[in-house]
Amino acid sequence: RERRAEEERRRAEEEKLREMQAAQDAFWASKLEEERKMRERSVSDAERKSKSLEEDKRRMAEKAREEKARAEEEERTRMREEERAREDPHEGEILKEAQVDDLHERERDWQITEEESARVARVQPQRTVPDVSASTFVSEQQRKSDEIARLKKEQEDRLRAL
Protein backbone atom coordinates (compact mmCIF):
# COMPACT_ATOMS: atom_id res chain seq x y z
CA ARG A 1 0.00 0.00 0.00
CA GLU A 2 2.67 2.36 0.89
CA ARG A 3 4.39 1.58 -2.26
CA ARG A 4 1.27 2.27 -4.22
CA ALA A 5 0.72 5.56 -2.43
CA GLU A 6 4.36 6.44 -3.10
CA GLU A 7 3.92 5.65 -6.79
CA GLU A 8 0.76 7.71 -7.05
CA ARG A 9 2.39 10.59 -5.28
CA ARG A 10 5.39 10.31 -7.59
CA ARG A 11 3.10 10.16 -10.66
CA ALA A 12 1.18 13.15 -9.38
CA GLU A 13 4.47 15.00 -8.92
CA GLU A 14 5.64 13.99 -12.38
CA GLU A 15 2.30 15.07 -13.82
CA LYS A 16 2.56 18.36 -11.95
CA LEU A 17 6.15 18.82 -13.20
CA ARG A 18 5.02 18.07 -16.78
CA GLU A 19 2.21 20.60 -16.47
CA MET A 20 4.58 23.16 -15.02
CA GLN A 21 7.11 22.40 -17.80
CA ALA A 22 4.36 22.73 -20.46
CA ALA A 23 3.22 26.02 -18.91
CA GLN A 24 6.81 27.24 -18.82
CA ASP A 25 7.37 26.14 -22.45
CA ALA A 26 4.17 27.94 -23.49
CA PHE A 27 5.28 31.06 -21.60
CA TRP A 28 8.72 31.09 -23.27
CA ALA A 29 7.21 30.32 -26.66
CA SER A 30 4.89 33.31 -26.33
CA LYS A 31 7.83 35.49 -25.21
CA LEU A 32 9.90 34.35 -28.19
CA GLU A 33 6.96 35.01 -30.53
CA GLU A 34 6.52 38.52 -29.11
CA GLU A 35 10.24 39.18 -29.50
CA ARG A 36 10.16 37.92 -33.11
CA LYS A 37 7.20 40.20 -33.90
CA MET A 38 8.98 43.17 -32.32
CA ARG A 39 12.07 42.46 -34.43
CA GLU A 40 9.94 42.23 -37.56
CA ARG A 41 8.26 45.53 -36.74
CA SER A 42 11.56 47.24 -36.06
CA VAL A 43 13.07 45.78 -39.25
CA SER A 44 10.06 46.83 -41.31
CA ASP A 45 10.18 50.29 -39.67
CA ALA A 46 13.88 50.49 -40.46
CA GLU A 47 13.25 49.33 -44.01
CA ARG A 48 10.46 51.86 -44.41
CA LYS A 49 12.68 54.61 -43.07
CA SER A 50 15.53 53.45 -45.30
CA LYS A 51 13.27 53.40 -48.37
CA SER A 52 11.88 56.79 -47.42
CA LEU A 53 15.41 58.19 -47.06
CA GLU A 54 16.43 56.68 -50.39
CA GLU A 55 13.34 58.15 -52.05
CA ASP A 56 14.08 61.55 -50.51
CA LYS A 57 17.70 61.37 -51.71
CA ARG A 58 16.54 60.38 -55.20
CA ARG A 59 14.02 63.23 -55.31
CA MET A 60 16.63 65.72 -54.10
CA ALA A 61 19.15 64.49 -56.69
CA GLU A 62 16.51 64.75 -59.44
CA LYS A 63 15.61 68.27 -58.33
CA ALA A 64 19.31 69.23 -58.28
CA ARG A 65 19.76 67.84 -61.82
CA GLU A 66 16.73 69.78 -63.04
CA GLU A 67 17.99 73.00 -61.45
CA LYS A 68 21.46 72.44 -62.92
CA ALA A 69 19.99 71.83 -66.39
CA ARG A 70 17.81 74.94 -66.05
CA ALA A 71 20.82 77.02 -64.97
CA GLU A 72 22.90 75.70 -67.88
CA GLU A 73 20.11 76.51 -70.35
CA GLU A 74 19.81 80.02 -68.91
CA GLU A 75 23.58 80.46 -69.26
CA ARG A 76 23.48 79.26 -72.89
CA THR A 77 20.60 81.65 -73.61
CA ARG A 78 22.48 84.53 -72.00
CA MET A 79 25.62 83.71 -74.01
CA ARG A 80 23.61 83.52 -77.27
CA GLU A 81 22.10 86.93 -76.53
CA GLU A 82 25.56 88.36 -75.82
CA GLU A 83 26.87 86.90 -79.08
CA ARG A 84 23.95 88.39 -81.00
CA ALA A 85 24.64 91.77 -79.40
CA ARG A 86 28.29 91.60 -80.52
CA GLU A 87 27.43 90.50 -84.08
CA ASP A 88 27.83 92.92 -86.96
CA PRO A 89 24.33 93.79 -88.20
CA HIS A 90 25.59 93.52 -91.81
CA GLU A 91 27.11 90.09 -91.31
CA GLY A 92 24.08 88.37 -92.84
CA GLU A 93 24.35 90.50 -95.97
CA ILE A 94 28.08 89.79 -96.19
CA LEU A 95 27.40 86.06 -95.96
CA LYS A 96 24.73 86.28 -98.67
CA GLU A 97 27.12 88.23 -100.87
CA ALA A 98 29.80 85.59 -100.32
CA GLN A 99 27.29 82.91 -101.32
CA VAL A 100 26.44 84.83 -104.49
CA ASP A 101 30.13 85.23 -105.30
CA ASP A 102 30.63 81.52 -104.74
CA LEU A 103 27.66 80.76 -106.99
CA HIS A 104 29.07 82.98 -109.75
CA GLU A 105 32.49 81.43 -109.41
CA ARG A 106 31.01 77.94 -109.73
CA GLU A 107 28.95 79.08 -112.72
CA ARG A 108 32.06 80.58 -114.37
CA ASP A 109 34.06 77.39 -113.72
CA TRP A 110 31.24 75.35 -115.16
CA GLN A 111 31.03 77.62 -118.20
CA ILE A 112 34.79 77.39 -118.79
CA THR A 113 34.59 73.62 -118.56
CA GLU A 114 31.66 73.61 -120.98
CA GLU A 115 33.50 75.88 -123.44
CA GLU A 116 36.62 73.73 -123.30
CA SER A 117 34.65 70.56 -123.92
CA ALA A 118 32.80 72.32 -126.77
CA ARG A 119 36.12 73.33 -128.39
CA VAL A 120 37.27 69.77 -128.21
CA ALA A 121 34.01 68.54 -129.70
CA ARG A 122 33.82 71.53 -132.09
CA VAL A 123 30.34 72.32 -130.91
CA GLN A 124 28.96 75.73 -130.07
CA PRO A 125 28.55 75.96 -126.25
CA GLN A 126 25.10 76.46 -124.84
CA ARG A 127 24.92 78.70 -121.87
CA THR A 128 22.59 77.27 -119.29
CA VAL A 129 21.84 79.11 -116.12
CA PRO A 130 21.06 76.86 -113.21
CA ASP A 131 17.61 77.33 -111.70
CA VAL A 132 18.28 79.27 -108.55
CA SER A 133 15.42 80.76 -106.63
CA ALA A 134 16.94 83.70 -104.84
CA SER A 135 15.86 86.58 -102.70
CA THR A 136 15.81 90.10 -104.11
CA PHE A 137 19.22 90.75 -102.59
CA VAL A 138 20.72 87.73 -104.34
CA SER A 139 18.96 88.65 -107.60
CA GLU A 140 20.33 92.16 -107.40
CA GLN A 141 23.84 90.87 -106.73
CA GLN A 142 23.56 88.46 -109.63
CA ARG A 143 22.37 91.28 -111.93
CA LYS A 144 25.34 93.41 -110.83
CA SER A 145 27.71 90.53 -111.42
CA ASP A 146 26.27 89.94 -114.90
CA GLU A 147 26.65 93.65 -115.67
CA ILE A 148 30.29 93.55 -114.53
CA ALA A 149 30.92 90.47 -116.68
CA ARG A 150 29.31 92.18 -119.71
CA LEU A 151 31.42 95.32 -119.19
CA LYS A 152 34.60 93.23 -118.87
CA LYS A 153 33.75 91.43 -122.09
CA GLU A 154 33.13 94.73 -123.91
CA GLN A 155 36.44 96.07 -122.62
CA GLU A 156 38.25 92.93 -123.81
CA ASP A 157 36.61 93.26 -127.23
CA ARG A 158 37.73 96.91 -127.47
CA LEU A 159 41.28 95.95 -126.50
CA ARG A 160 41.32 93.21 -129.14
CA ALA A 161 40.06 95.68 -131.74
CA LEU A 162 43.05 97.94 -131.12
**Tens digit of each residue's pLDDT (9 = 90 or more) over 48-90:** 777 888 888 889 999 999 999 999 999 988 888 887 767 666 6
Give the C-alpha separation, 64 to 58, whole Å.
Answer: 10
- pLDDT exceeds 80 at position 140: yes
pLDDT grade for 10, boundaries at 50, 70 and 90 = very high
What pLDDT, on the 0 to 100 scale, is given for residue 91? 66
The type of residue at 76 is R
- pLDDT exceeds 90 at position 123: no
The predicted-structure confidence for 41-50, as pLDDT tens digits, reads as follows 777 777 777 7
- For 25-63, what is the HEC assignment? HHHHHHHHHHHHHHHHHHHHHHHHHHHHHHHHHHHHHHH
- With contact defined as beta carbons under 8 Å apart, do 115 and 125 qualify? yes
Please, what sign has the CA dihedral across residues 109, 115, 116, 117? positive
User: Average pLDDT, stretch 99-106?
Assistant: 84
Give the C-alpha separation, 76 to 70, whole Å.
Answer: 10
What pLDDT, on the 0 to 100 scale, is given for residue 134? 54
What pLDDT, on the 0 to 100 scale, is given for residue 18? 94
